[in-house]
Amino acid sequence: MTSVWITDAEIATSCGQGVDALWTHLISGAPGIDEVTRFGTECYITSYAACVPDLTPTPQGSLLYPLLEQVLPESLKVPDDAALITATTKAGIDSLQSWSRGRAGGMEDTLASTVLQWLQAELHLHGPATNINAACASSTIALARAANMIAHDAVDCVLVCCADLVSEFVFSGFSALQALSPEPCRPFDQDRHGLTLGEGAASLLLMSQARAEREGRSCLGQIVGWGAANDANHITAPARDGCGLVQAVERSLRVADAEPGDVSGISAHGTATVYNDLMELVAFRRVFGERRVPIHSVKGAIGHTLAAAGAIETALSLRMLDRREMPPTLGFEKPEEGAAGRVSKQAQSLESGLLLSTNSGFGGINGALLLAAGGRQ
Amino acid sequence: MKVSVSGIGWVTSKSFGAASMLSRFELTAGTLPKLRRRDVFEQPYQRFGRLDTFSKLGLAGLAFALRDAAAEESAGKRDIGIVAATHLGCLGTDLNYYDTVIPQDGLLASPNLFAYTLPNCFLGEAAIRFGLTGPGYVINEAGAVSLTALQMAMEMVCWDQCPGALAGFCNPPLPEEADLDAPEIPGAVFLFLQPPGAESAYAELALSAGGSFCVGQQQISNWDQLVTTCLEKRSAPTDVGSTQNRL
């Protein structure tokens, strides 16, 4: 199969623009979680979320567009023949909120097709364009799809662009499901009480090795394996035995022609809900046995960014591979059973090898990516 | 790349069911049937009544496609994927859900409705009901629903992601209060795809490197044409079980 390079990665989170900003927050133990001011939270479980600072609506209405603009700098230089794959669960849902309350706004922004059209126009793209919705595994599966297309020579360049907002719509829903943590979330901690919502965006440019070399692009890292699978168990809760995640990870290992022993670290979904984190620990133990593979969750710093989570975590994982270091998991203090010696509130060194990035979502879907450092051939 | 089309199911304004039980396929504008559990499943299935309109429509289309391939029942879980295209997705459910948020500042927000404000949730329902553990996602396109979902599902099968996949679209009617144009004819159509040579298949479907779909010598450019051509390829179906009278 053709080698799949990631040549550019831009992210925007509550910790600022770029991987550098997020890395600095993680190393210094400064989460980007604060009280929401965008809408009233008096009737919800919590007032905490991780909002991207200084987003102001554009004439289009939704905050989604200024959020996306943060991950589309001119330096990105997206070729106009690039295929476009987006991942968003609710797109510009804030516009629908305004419309429903009788204010300005409309429903168009809620449709992913509108986001695709906007991106095509902004970037002058004329290749195929598709949005993938697989709940909180959306961008993981979008990256998997992009990698698969390049690996099989269907295309040689794909822009994967992902975003979701902190909105009253989503906030109220997770609150109604009793899934929000009253305090900033604590992934893999014994005393975790749910997730903290976040918003964020990411754009990752993927190319075949041949095209990237031809265009003189650098290699931030490679996607060498990918997999997705469904629990076939429950709509909103993960399977306790982690069956779908195990299947997704094993599939990614097969694609990479790798063994579990080749994996040196895991960027987990780590939402800090009781059942998600337990499920992941069970699944990782099924795949990796008793070997203490370092595990990281970024959600204690930037919240759960929904469809954008997988792409943001992939960008961060590339930095981990580059530095051979896993940053602290913020919010983590007392290890859940199975997390001791794997998750840490301190930075952990990484041995050379592959990094596994996983996400899971409503509808029982799980996605897994295997990433290699930039130098791997 | 090639696959066998082993099953076809649909819900349109004219008819609904498994292709082998219906006389013909027509994708035309009109009112979709209000699906009841017994329209889709013979046996009681409590979850069906709780589903939103979008999920009922999609789940029914998937069920009919699997039934048509005699693949609805299975002793265990199966590695079958799903790719479903949609334009509006669960917009109607979004509106209904947010109507529960507005009064009392979210205190009465419905957790049951919220769970179905993700358009991929009907894939999860199908996964639970039929034991499908393959990859599954919903796609949206910049323009009208095309055959992209079909291509993605074919690639799932041909690129060894899973040995079978369901591909189709699920377009619910435009919500009455929506201030949008409705570019799609409402309905759901799904095909069950397997590797070439599957027994009792309707036809072999080919996708060229240039992106052209063909059934035999017939070039395929949309879902309507694809289903019609597959039905023509199979020997004339027995005209039993037409749902015309049920609508």
d(CA A89, CA A363): 13
Among B65, B84, B72, which residue's Cα sits nearest to residue B20? Answer: B65
Lowest mean pLDDT among A95-99, A165-169, A251-255, B57-61: A95-99
Nearest to B124 among A113, A235, A243 (CB): A235
Q: A136, A157, A185, A219: which one is catalytic?
A: A136
Average pLDDT over all residues of chain B: 92
Strands annotated E in chain A: 4-13, 16-17, 34-35, 48-50, 83-87, 129-133, 157-164, 197-198, 200-208, 221-230, 263-267, 295-296, 325-326, 348-349, 354-361, 365-373
A255 CA: distance to closest CA in chain B (Å): 9
A257 touches B: beta carbon within 8 Å: no
pLDDT score, position B241: 36
Q: How do residues B93-142 score in pLDDT, each as one tens digit? A: 999 999 999 999 999 999 999 999 999 999 999 999 999 999 999 999 99
- At A321-371, the pLDDT tens digits run 999 999 999 999 999 999 999 999 999 999 999 999 999 999 999 999 999
Side-chain half-sphere of B18: how many Cα atoms within 13 Å? 22
Instruction: Quick: pLDDT tens for B187-207.
Output: 999 999 999 999 889 999 999
CB atoms inside a 10 Å sphere around CB B1: 16
pLDDT over threshold 50, residue A317 = yes
Instruction: Give, in order, the Cα–Cα distances in Å from A310 to each of A34, A54, A135, A278, B39.
Output: 22, 23, 11, 19, 39
pTM: 0.96
Least CB–CB distance from A232: residue in B97, B98, B127? B127
ipTM of the complex: 0.96
Are the CB atoms for A374 and A221 separated by under 8 Å? yes
pLDDT digits 0-9 by tens, B143-152:
889 999 999 9
- Is the pLDDT assigned to residue B239 strictly greater than 60? no
Distance between B214 CA and the closest CA of chain A, angstroms = 18
Å between A179 CA and nearest CA of chain B:
10
B49-53 long-range CB contacts below 8 Å, 24 or more apart? B50/B112, B51/B116, B51/B122, B51/B125, B52/B90, B52/B92, B52/B93, B52/B96, B52/B113, B52/B116, B53/B92, B53/B93, B53/B172, B53/B173
- Spell out which residues of chain A touch residue B124, defining contact as CB-CB under 8 Å: 230, 234-235, 362-365
Contact B127 A231 (CB under 8 A): yes
Cβ–Cβ < 8 Å for B7, B18 = yes
- CB-CB neighbors (< 8 A) of B135 in chain A: 141, 227-230, 365
Question: Is a pLDDT exceeding 60 seen at residue A376?
Answer: no
Closest-CA residue of B relative to A105 is B179
Which of A177, A230, A359 is the mutation pick for testing B, counting most B CBs within 10 A? Answer: A230
Interface probe with A: pick from B120, B141, B170, most Cβ of A within 10 Å: B120
Picking from A92, A173, A89, A174, the residue whose alpha carbon sits closest to that of residue A138 is: A89
Closest A-chain CA to B102: A101
Active site residue A124: no
Residue A60's pLDDT band (boundaries 50, 70, 90)?
Answer: low
Pull the structure tokens for residue A346.
């301190």
How many other C-beta atoms can be found within 10 angstroms of the C-beta atom of residue B56? 26
Q: B54: which residues sit within 8 A by CB, 6+ positions away?
A: B86, B89, B90, B92, B93, B116, B119, B122, B170, B172
| pLDDT-wise least confident of A295-299, A316-320, B11-15, B179-183 | B179-183
Handedness of CA B172, A87, A160, B151 (dihedral sign): negative
A180-236 tens-digit pLDDT = 999 999 999 999 999 999 999 999 999 999 999 999 999 999 999 999 999 999 988
Would an 8 Å CB–CB cutoff place A89 in contact with chain B? yes
Type of residue numbered A45: I
Per-residue model confidence (pLDDT) at position A13: 98
Average pLDDT value for chain A: 96
Catalytic annotation present for A136 = yes
DSSP per residue, A198-248: E-EEEEEEEEEHHHHHHTT---SEEEEEEEEEE--S-SSS--TT-HHHHHH
What distance in Å separates the CA atoms of residue A239 and residue B183, rounded to the nearest whole number?
38
Chain A residues with CB inside 8 Å of B111's CB?
173, 176-178
Residue of B nearest to A362 (CA): B121
